[in-house]
Amino acid sequence: MTPLSRRHLMAGAAAATTLAGCGPDLFTHKPKTIEEAVAGDWRLEADKARDKYRHPVETLNFWGLKRAMTVVEFWPGAGWYTDILAPFLAATGGKLYAANVEPLDDVRRKAVEAYRKKLASRRRLYGAVSVTAFGPTSGPVAPPGSADLALFLRNIHNWMAAGIADKAFADAFAALSGDKAVGCIVLTGAGPAFCAGMDTAQFGGDLDHRRLQRDITLVRCHRHDVHDERGEKPCPLHQRHLGHARRCDHHHVGRLARGREELA
Q: Could you report the per-residue pLDDT of 149-194, keeping only the tens digit for each?
A: 999 988 887 887 788 988 998 899 999 998 788 888 765 544 444 4
Rounded mean pLDDT, 190-215: 43
Q: How far apart are CA 115 and CA 92, in angstroms?
A: 22
The C-alpha angle with vertex 197 and arms to 191 and 198, in degrees rounded to 5, equals: 60
Q: What DSSP assignment string belongs to 183-227?
A: EEEEEE-SSB-TTTS-BGGGS-S-GGGTTTS-EEEEEEEEETTS-
Q: Tell me which residue of 146, 141, 144, 135 sits closest to 107, measured CA to CA.
A: 135
pLDDT at 218: 73
At 135 the three-state DSSP class reads coil
Higher pLDDT, 25 or 159: 159
User: What's the pLDDT score for residue 219?
Assistant: 74
What span, in angstroms and rounded, lies between the C-alpha atoms of 71 and 175? 10
Residues 153, 154, 158, 159: is their CA dihedral positive or negative?
positive
**Lowest-pLDDT range of 79-88, 89-98, 240-249:** 240-249
Domain parsing of the chain, residue ranges = 3-21+28-263
Reported as a pLDDT band with limits 50, 70 and 90, residue 16 is low
According to the model, what pLDDT value does residue 60 have?
92
How does pLDDT run across 215-232, given as a tens digit for each residue?
Answer: 566 777 776 533 333 344
At 240 the pLDDT is: 46
Predicted local confidence at residue 187, as pLDDT = 56
- 3-state class (DSSP) for residue 130: strand
Per-residue model confidence (pLDDT) at position 248: 56
**DSSP symbol at 262:** G
CATH 1.10.10.10 is right for the domain spanning 3-21+28-263: no
Question: The pTM is what?
Answer: 0.75
